[in-house]
Amino acid sequence: MRASVPDPREVTLSQHFKAQWHRRGEELLHWIAREKISIGNKRIAVFDNTVVDEQLLQALILLKQKGIVTEFSCAGVSLLDEVEDHSLYAYITLIGNENSHAFIQAAM
């Protein structure tokens, strides 16, 4: 298996220390082992022709109103899976522009 080549258009603005990755791994193991109780069916909405979790719709609308363009990716979820059964994305990518850079700096 070949390692993927980093996309030169992508910029990493923050780095995580080894201890932070270890903590994340521990949190993931605890989450996997924990009993998961469903509190209701997933509610979905359409945002810019993309199905998203309804809970994030207002945040995505606000980002768009501020001129921050987003993209989504689903890690480990097949396109054949039912969207209601999974988190609809694992990552929200902000496309680089002046507005997104200002937002990222404020958030960091």
- pLDDT tens string, the chain, 108 residues long: the values are 455 677 777 777 777 788 888 898 898 888 888 887 777 777 888 888 887 878 888 988 999 999 998 887 655 555 555 656 666 555 678 888 999 999 988 988
Helix (H) or strand (E) holding 93: strand 91-94
Q: Which domain holds residue 75?
A: 42-107
CA–CA–CA angle 79, 11, 67 (5° rounding): 75
Task: Output phi, psi for 41, to 5 deg.
Answer: -70, 150
Residue 76 in any domain: the answer is yes
- Domain-located, residue 73: yes
pTM: 0.58
Number of domains composing the chain: 1
